[in-house]
Amino acid sequence: MPITEYLVRNRKEYGNEVALVDVNPEQKDTQRITWKDFSLIQPTEKRFYRKEITWRVFDEKANRCANMLLGLGVHKGDKVAILMMNCLEWLPIYFGILKTGAIAVPFNFRYSSDEILYCAELAEVDVLIFGPQFVGRIEEIVDKLSDHRLLVYVGEHQPTYAENYYQLVADCSSKAPEIEITDDDYGAIYFSSGTTGFPKAILHKHRSLMHAAKVEQHHHGQTHDDCFLCIPPLYHTGAKMHWFGSLVSGSRAVLLHGTRPEYIFDAISKEHCTIVWLLVPWAQDILDALDFGELKLEDYKLDQWRLMHIGAQPVPPSMIRHWMDYFPNHQYDTNYGLSESIGPGCVHLGVENINKVGAIGVPGYGWECKIINEDGSEVEFGETGELCVRGDGVMTCYYRNPEATAEVLQPDGWLRTGDVAMQDPDGFYFLVDRKKDVIVSGGENLYPVQIEDFLRGYEKIHDVAVIGLPDERLGEIAGAVIQVKEGMTCTEEEINEFCKGMPRYKRPRKIIFADVPRNPTGKIEKPKLRKMYGEEYLVAFENRK
């Protein structure tokens, strides 16, 4: 059945109960200023913002959105994009799109105007629904973007080139449209993170969406009494698919704006959250705040918090051990996934396997995994190779890109992840690195994740990224970009001394003290770092010739 049926069920069974809460500790009142060809949203003052909707209102909003789109001529199989920050309208709009039989196409809120246009053209978007934060970017490309596309604006101070969402839905029916949707119908297009260039469009059927919901609820056992704190952006498969566990159980979820440790703890305490999904930087920020006394456990109500889980990137075992020092009664899970496998859960640690922290885990519910050599044959236990996964959550294809699809999707349904992994005798998978991130230095393969995990064990390091830098003699060397904890100082000599605990060939040969950039899903933006520092070293290398 399609995922929309859970929403219909929740309206019937829990109609008057709260479904979603939107909390923004630093909401800013805004006013629109326009002159000549320049316009912006001007913040005025900060105020605390909290709003909620019930399951009945949620479903009614989705139905009104669906009927509005149908009235505008949207048909089954059309593509409707969402370019919005997290808010109470986001999920009802997403489900409204699905209820029409159209394909939902969430956009990354960090896209530049050029990337917005690129993705709209790649996915053949028919309608773009966008929020006030994107007015400036849309204006830069409106002449090209509005060609054969309808632009719908969600917010106040409507731009002249777009239709007003609230006016369009005002007179629309709150009854569900009678559109037949099956598991084999296309449901969504998500985009790759773009860490290797412009993003690819990833096409999923409704079967994938339903599979993600079942996997999430099976892994984390959400009940009707749980409350999920959602901090990451909803455009990403991770955040939304983890929330699907709340959808299955009909339980409440909180959308939190901001990642400061005190915001997270305040939301957990006041909203009685029981499940929190964090990214590595946010978990590390919490630990730093606790270590420095900036955050005190006794100031918050945290007894109901039962599960903390992390995904989207490799998780340092030392950080989780430190986490358990503060939260010894927490369940913990690591979730591995990619947008091509509908987000989290194709591999997961499992809350019962805390003794295996460091592994990404075992095949998730309804998933199969294997590790292969370059020739496609499976490796022996303990050997490294490319991780492959298979299950109902695997994408249909990269939309309009058969060449890229053929590179990763095998005829028998196996998806090549591009990640280098190994499996131990107990059947647990360990992530070694991204296949394209492996540094070949003097004939030796260096895996940045392993070096990063080691360096994070140094008490002064807040974050670290290891990249390959050009070298005349070795071809490449490992360079460590190190972000020092706030208020601390650190020297290259200290790092080199600490690195003596590693084999000599693995030690980074260049130390760079700088901020480590991460995208909204927590992944280190290594292409940006390679461009910043790799080109610099390449110029120096060429000048020496």
Query: At residue 40, does pLDDT exceed 70?
Result: no
**pLDDT, tens only, 304-352:** 999 999 876 667 788 899 999 999 999 999 999 989 999 888 999 999 9
Among 277-286, 360-369, 430-439, where is mean pLDDT lowest? 430-439
Q: What is the Cα–Cα distance from 327 to 335, expressed in whole angstroms?
A: 19
User: Which DSSP letter does residue 380 get?
Assistant: P
Q: Assign 482 to helix, strand or coil.
A: strand
Q: In what order do the strands lie in the sheet with 461-471?
A: 461-471, 475-484, 510-513
Neighbours of 190 (CB within 10 A): 28
Q: How many residues does the chain have?
A: 545
Identity (one letter) of the amino acid at 331?
Q
Question: What pLDDT digit, counting tens, does each position of 260-310 carry?
Answer: 999 999 999 999 999 999 988 789 899 999 999 999 999 999 999 999 998
Beta strands in 84-141 (DSSP E): 103-106, 127-130
Identify the weakest region by mean pLDDT among 202-216, 406-420, 448-462: 448-462
Averaged pLDDT for residues 103-130: 94
Residue 38 confidence class, pLDDT cut points 50, 70, 90: very low
DSSP code string of 223-277: -TT-EEEE-S-TTSHHHHHHHHHHHHHT-EEEEE----HHHHHHHHHHHT--EEE
Q: Which domains does the chain have, with CATH numbers?
A: 51-205 (3.40.50.12780), 438-544 (3.30.300.30)
Pick 367 or 523 by higher pLDDT.
367
Terminal Cα distance for the chain, rounded: 64
Distance CA 478, CA 441 (A): 8
User: What gap in Å lies between CA 453 and CA 458, rounded to an integer?
Assistant: 10
- Give the distance, in angstroms, between the CA of residue 362 and the centroid of all CA atoms in the same chain: 21
With a cut of 70, say whether residue 34 has pLDDT above it. no
Task: Residue 212: name the closest of 240, 189, 233 by CA.
Answer: 240
